[in-house]
Structure 1
Amino acid sequence: MALDAFAPWDDPNAKPLIQFQNVTKRFGDFTAIDDLTVDIFEREFFALLGPSGCGKTTMMRMLAGFETPTEGTILLSGQNIAPVPPNQRAVNMMFQSYALFPHLSVWDNIAFGLKRDRMPKDEMAARVEEMLRLTRLEKFARRKPHQISGGQRQRVALARSLAKAPKLLLLDEPLGALDKKLRQETQFELMDIQESTGTTFVIVTHDQEEAMTVASRVAVMDHGKIVQVATPDAIYEAPNSTYVADFIGDVNLLNGTVAAEGDKLHLSWAEGQPDIVGSSSKTFSKDQSAFFAIRPEKINITAQKPDGAANALKGKVLDIAYLGNISTYHVELKGGQVIKAQTANNRRISRRSFTWEDTVWLSWTDTAGVFLER
């Protein structure tokens, strides 16, 4: 599924599968969800991303039917789902703990919901076999959950959740229990399964890398509100606030006052330092307080001042974090400010160009960063 071909959120005629309309959820005096409005479309892999306590799990529990909104409406396929009990919704939820039945085989775990729905035996057997194939678990059908690995248990839980062919599958931190390598492999499996079934997936995660990998769109949440909803590349390259810029990936944030000169913006940000020059589609008033956000990998690091660079700052290497494929240099400027720059390690470490205490120049183009109002 090419992402550029799949963008129902840009189509004014597309009907959302899920609509949150001015939804607020309070627990006593605490507001978990605050007047939230968002649309999620059919066949989307939609990620709710944010720190603990930001309201993402409450949103999911309302979709599942375990909580009801204090105010506002949630529509599924145009129907208000508030009066529909959880077991009658075309929604299934997969928990972080997987919640498998230890005494049942993999086959019977997957068949559990179908048996309760009294599906005819031959239909049920065909459906379970289809789910086993989809999750590549055919060889493990007769084993019990304790006889298979964590990654396989995760796939059993997924197969069981998909067996009833829900319109919507909710995944609450589904990869939280897996180690990093297995998580990464499983992320791609999840994407393949989501694509081949065409089911709408909504995943809750606090792992930004996971959200950026799997999702068609990411909603970044803070204190019960959605701060930005966009495709992963838009969230990363064009964050709408310092909160989003800081939450997703690594970023340098410089604060100052802004002035327009021709089609360029100039940020006056530190005494003795040249203005930061860049461009922005936003309009800023003269001397307005603003932030400039730039990713470390967009900054070049050189021994000499580069000719013709739109932005160049001089400093000395304070610290180096070696991460195998990349190195992050912490460079201290004359006024004490520290800026992070990243380089790809395409040579062996002994050939590293810079070391601690070296004087270096940091430079970037006038389109490398973004100006933000807040």
Structure 2
Amino acid sequence: MGADLAVPVFEPWTDPQAKPLIQFQNVTKRFGDFTAIDDLTIDIFECEFFALLGPSGCGKTTMMRMLAGFEAPTEGKIFLAGQDIAPVPPNQRAVNMMFQSYALFPHLSIWENIAFGLKREGMPRAEIAARVEEMLRLTRLEKFARRKPHQISGGQRQRVALARSLAKAPKLLLLDEPLGALDRKLREETQFELMDIQEKTGTTFVIVTHDQEEAMTVASRVAVMDNGKVIQVATPADIYEAPNSSYVADFIGDVNLIQGQATATGEDTYALHWREGAAPLTIKSPNAISDGQTAHLAIRPEKVTISADKPEGADNVVQGKVLDIAYLGNLSTYHVELPTGDVIKAQTANTRRISRRAYTWEDTVWLSWTATGGVLLAD
């Protein structure tokens, strides 16, 4: 009975029959001698909340501008709902873009801002009124309809920009750093509002951000970019737990990267010889690594256990001294220096209100983790 009531998981990218809404096929974009996008092939599906994540200059905004029609690919093709969009001018694409600045008209009321694009299209007045009221309800702005943009808060202005972008019912909404101007607390609240609105409208959202937490919170899938290339496309959980490279592991969240030479010791099991005189580390990882190949163990600080006494039966154990402590309220991160000079971070949840930390600076501690706690990466 319970199984019948289970909500189907939204994963069209795993279905070979699913047709993507957006297809980049071998797209390259050059500005003079500079290559902003380098031979990019990627599919984005209908109703996805897709995040483009990467450092400044990695090509994510160029990708978005090509979708919007502000830039044309130097090579390759971009398809929207099966149609090559290169010859379609920006104002005729079923695409809307929401900018970080929101670009609201200061002299128009909230109601008039949302109605602006619909009036330009020549929609009948009764339909405009109904659509604007629907957008105001969706974004919870009914009470503010007659106010001007300067009379409402930053978070409310962001919702007005979103309502205006969605009013024309685009197939695709592009969001360029949409929450960048908001303070942290408001940004976190607005992330959930964005997800809720995206789910209610069923519009495909593509968001550009350099904020990892934002991408991990809102997106169904994340594309991590660097130097015009997509390094990995996966769900937030897979990006975090199963990165395909040291770059992705290091870019998303906090990680310990330990370099060494890998030797196979069994099926999917490796010994990582990482420092002379140190016991090899035991790793169980599905990534195929050649014997003697240089590899990195990527292990998250929360997967590393810190203890005062040497743990019995642990797969991997190292001893060191507490070098630094970062107290973050809900978590404490311990930077532990090993005799080899390496520093490994371990994280503990502060589940109790205690007057004194269990470990302090210069304490000798043991760090341990399981063979499956990290992932072995070839680069």
Tell me, yes or no, if structure 1 residue 357 matches structure 2 residue 365: no
Aligned to 1:228: 232
Deviation of the 1:272 alpha carbon: 2.4
Instruction: Tell which deviates more after alignment, 268-277 or 21-30.
Output: 268-277
Deviation of the 1:346 alpha carbon: 1.1
Give the TM-score, by structure 2 length: 0.97
Aligned to 1:276: 281
Contact 1:3–1:216 under 8 Å retained in 2: no
**Equivalent of residue 348 in structure 1, options 326, 349, 353:** 353
Runs of 5+ in structure 1 lacking a partner? none
Aligned to 1:177: 181
- The Cα offsets for residues 224-273 of structure 1, whole Å up to 9 and x where unpaired, read as 00000000000000000000000000000000100011232000001222
Tell me, yes or no, if structure 1 residue 104 matches structure 2 residue 108: yes
Partner AA of 1:311 in structure 2:
N
Aligned to 2:327: 322
**Equivalent of residue 296 in structure 1, options 298, 301, 320:** 301
Partner AA of 1:244 in structure 2:
V
Give the TM-score, by structure 1 length: 0.99
Deviation of the 1:351 alpha carbon: 3.3
Aligned to 2:312: 307
Secondary structure in 1 matching 2:352: coil
Deviation of the 1:347 alpha carbon: 1.9
Secondary structure in 1 matching 2:58: coil
Give the Cα–Cα distance (whole angstroms) in 1 for the partners of residues 177 and 327 of structure 2: 29
Aligned to 1:59: 63
Give the Cα–Cα distance (whole angstroms) in 2 for the partners of residues 161 and 284 of structure 1: 48
The 1:188/1:283 distance shift into structure 2, 3 A limit, reads same
Give the Cα–Cα distance (whole angstroms) in 2 for the partners of residues 38 and 3 of structure 1: 27
Tell me, yes or no, if structure 1 residue 265 matches structure 2 residue 267: no
Aligned to 1:250: 254
**Equivalent of residue 78 in structure 2, options 74, 77, 91:** 74
Give the Cα–Cα distance (whole angstroms) in 1 for the partners of residues 327 and 358 of structure 2: 13
Deviation of the 1:3 alpha carbon: 8.9
Aligned to 1:208: 212
Give the Cα–Cα distance (whole angstroms) in 2 for the partners of residues 315 and 58 of structure 1: 46
The 1:209/1:4 distance shift into structure 2, 3 A limit, reads farther
Aligned to 2:3: none
Secondary structure in 2 matching 1:319: strand
Partner AA of 2:332 in structure 1:
S
Alignment of 1:140-219 (within 5 A): 140-219=144-223
Give the Cα–Cα distance (whole angstroms) in 1 for the partners of residues 355 and 274 of structure 2: 36
Give the Cα–Cα distance (whole angstroms) in 1 for the partners of residues 254 and 202 of structure 2: 33
Deviating beyond 2 angstroms after TM superposition, the runs of 4 or more aligned structure 1 residues are none
Partner AA of 1:275 in structure 2:
P
Identity over the aligned pairs, expressed in percent? 79
Deviation of the 1:141 alpha carbon: 0.2
Runs of 5+ in structure 2 lacking a partner? 1-5
Partner AA of 1:348 in structure 2:
R
Aligned length: 373
Aligned to 2:42: 38
- The Cα offsets for residues 298-322 of structure 1, whole Å up to 9 and x where unpaired, read as 0000001100000000001000000
The 1:62/1:124 distance shift into structure 2, 3 A limit, reads same
Secondary structure in 2 matching 1:9: helix
- The Cα offsets for residues 76-118 of structure 1, whole Å up to 9 and x where unpaired, read as 0000000000000000000000000000000000000000000
Give the Cα–Cα distance (whole angstroms) in 1 for the partners of residues 13 and 160 of structure 2: 32
Partner AA of 1:203 in structure 2:
I
**Equivalent of residue 336 in structure 1, options 334, 341, 352:** 341
Give the Cα–Cα distance (whole angstroms) in 2 for the partners of residues 266 and 285 of structure 1: 12
Deviation of the 1:280 alpha carbon: 1.5
Give the Cα–Cα distance (whole angstroms) in 1 for the partners of residues 40 and 65 of structure 2: 15
Contact 1:272–1:335 under 8 Å retained in 2: no
Aligned to 1:371: 376
What's the RMSD between the two structures over aligned residues? 0.9
Give the Cα–Cα distance (whole angstroms) in 2 for the partners of residues 183 and 252 of structure 1: 28
Contact 1:33–1:223 under 8 Å retained in 2: yes
Give the Cα–Cα distance (whole angstroms) in 1 for the partners of residues 162 and 222 of structure 2: 21
Partner AA of 1:339 in structure 2:
I
Contact 1:310–1:366 under 8 Å retained in 2: yes
Deviation of the 1:350 alpha carbon: 1.9
Instruction: Tell which deviates more after alignment, 184-193 or 261-270.
Output: 261-270
